[in-house]
Amino acid sequence: MQDQVVGSSPVKVDAKDKATGATKYPGDLRVPGMLYGKLLYSPSAHAKIIGIGLADAWQVPGVRAVLTANDVPGHNGHGVIIPHQPVMARDLVRSVNDVLVAVAAETMAAAEEALRKVKIELVELPAVFDATAAMAEGAPLVHPEGNILSHHKIRRGDMAEGWARAAAVVENTYRTQMVDHAFLQTEAALAEIDDGGILVLHVATQYPHWDRKELSRALGMPEDMIRVVGGSVGGAFGGREDMSLQVQAALLAMHTGRPVKIVCTREESFHAHSKRHAMVMHYRTGATGEGRLTAVEATIIGDTGAYASWGTNVLRKAAVHATGPYIVPNVKVDAYAVYTNNPFAGAMRGFGAAQPAVAYEGQMDEVARVLGLHPFAVRWQNAMTEGCITATGQVLESGVGLRATMEKAGSLVGWDVSKING
């Protein structure tokens, strides 16, 4: 009988081409007659657009297209939850992610020169850069419907009873920062129209079928006229779930009738994709003298920036994971996704569950310190096990290997796990 393949460690199917450099990423593609595209991002985080002067840009030799919001034939917006992030901003910019102009030219130098010749006239608007401040009455509005994108609540048990049973209560506020995915390969796309009139877009993306939907909506074209080819992707981590330059590349190809490639510089890449939500997390955790958790109350505020992206879902995930892998009978969680004029936040590895771990694991150590218990012992006795009930009331019927991970990791740093647990 052959050895089992599952559980082995074969050479990755893409290893050879990656190691030898044979792998072609979208940025490596070159086709005859190809133009170079480039995008102009807003210099301001919140401003009214008074005018965009394109005449001088058109005068640059080699320029083949200079496009603005007026050139978007379909819905001028994209977004995984709310399609309100403009392909190109028309009247208003809400963040430095906003694209104002897209150009295509015979050379990269000509495209860069054309962007320098675009005359932008903006009038700055009152802006808000702090999520907590953005929740207050009278804060500048990022969107007319209000700055709170979502509020998720988790209510379980009886908080008064939880605090009454607690021998110790620890209370702290934790703050995590805005983080970039910093994947190796910056955004790149090559758009072309094939002989059958089909728009073909080569792009490093996490979801080609979704990109096709977004392209269809913004271009006003049926999905069957669009083909998205994922190609090779040099890291993603959630930063390739929203549109970055897909629609603009397609528009430039459609307007010029020529293939157009856009490759972001690192600086442009920082402006082209989402960020990890900065969060402020206020926690109160109660435990009995033996270290049994009796209550957790958490208020989590996530700065989702100027556009929704996955903000609602990220903060929902933060709420669901707010108590950590522990059995807590009494829980009150409020998690808010809040608009600001900061760069937009969305999916990043952990998706809202990375930030609360900083808070709930800080709290577990603090509970241990206050009660004079070992951090391992506090975690062990509260650990989720098969059949336990989560803060959302879900019974975990199978697949709960938490204590095995604790035992193995603890032993390897020399902790006498059985002795600690008494």
Partner 1 sequence: MVRRRGIGMASVFYGTGYGNGFPDISSAIVELHPSGKATVRTGAVDCGQGSSTVFAIIAAEVLGLQVSDITVTTGDTDNTPDTGTTAATRQTYNTGNAVRLAALDALSPLLDMVKPRLAVNTVDGLVVRGGAIEVRGLPGRKVTLAEAVALAKAEGLTTMGKATFTAHTTALDPENGQGAPYWPYAFATHMAEVEVDTLTGMVEVLRVVAAHDVGRAINRAGVEGQVEGGVAQGLGFALLEEVQLNCGRIQNPNLAGYLVPTAMDMAVVESIIVEHPEPSGPFGAKGIGEPAILPVAPAILNAIFDAVGVRITDLPATPEKVLQAIKLQEDRGIVK
Report the site for partner 1 in 305-324 (rule: CB under 8 A): 313, 316-317, 319-321, 324
Piece in contact with partner 1 (CB under 8 A), picked from 133-141, 250-258, 292-300, 355-363: 355-363
402 touching partner 1, by CB under 8 A: yes
Give the residue, chosen from 92, 362, 417, 421, that forms a contact with partner 1 under the rule CB under 8 A.
362
Could you give the string, one character per residue 37-76, with x where binding to partner 1 holds by CB under 8 A and - elsewhere?
------x-xx------------------------------
123 touching partner 1, by CB under 8 A: no
Residue 26: which of 194, 184, 186 has the closest Cα? 186
Least distance (Å) from partner 1 to the CB of residue 373?
Answer: 13
Give the residue, chosen from 267, 290, 387, 416, that forms a contact with partner 1 under the rule CB under 8 A.
267
CB 134 within 8 A of CB 147: yes
Give the residue, chosen from 120, 141, 193, 396, that forms a contact with partner 1 under the rule CB under 8 A.
396
Residues 75-114 that bind partner 1 (CB under 8 A): 95-96
Give the residue, chosen from 83, 231, 291, 302, that forms a contact with partner 1 under the rule CB under 8 A.
231
CB 58 within 8 A of CB 255: no
**Going by DSSP bridges, is the β-strand pair 47-53/92-93 parallel, antiparallel, or unpaired?**
antiparallel
Tell me the backbone φ, ψ of residue 103, rounded to 5 degrees.
-125, 155
Least distance (Å) from partner 1 to the CB of residue 317?
Answer: 7
Piece in contact with partner 1 (CB under 8 A), picked from 49-57, 101-109, 160-168, 340-348: 340-348
Least distance (Å) from partner 1 to the CB of residue 215?
Answer: 10
Which CB sits closer to partner 1, 239 or 286?
239
Roughly how many angstroms between the first and final C-alpha of the chain, as a whole number?
Answer: 46
Which CB sits closer to partner 1, 104 or 203?
203
383 touching partner 1, by CB under 8 A: yes
377 touching partner 1, by CB under 8 A: no
Which CB sits closer to partner 1, 251 or 378?
378
Least distance (Å) from partner 1 to the CB of residue 294?
Answer: 19
Give the residue, chosen from 343, 367, 371, 373, that forms a contact with partner 1 under the rule CB under 8 A.
343
CB 301 within 8 A of CB 280: yes
**Integer CA distances (angstroms), 95 to 85, 180, 239, 306, 384, in order:** 10, 16, 17, 6, 42
* Conformational region of residue 320, where left means phi above 0, alpha means psi within -120 to 50, and beta covers everything else: alpha
Distance CA 21, CA 234 (A): 12
Give the residue, chosen from 275, 277, 284, 292, that forms a contact with partner 1 under the rule CB under 8 A.
275
Q: How many residues bind partner 1 (CB under 8 A)?
A: 112
Half-sphere CA count of 146, side-chain side, radius 13 A:
9
Distance CA 210, CA 189 (A): 15
CB 50 within 8 A of CB 121: yes
Tokens of 377: 């012992």
Distance CA 98, CA 94 (A): 7
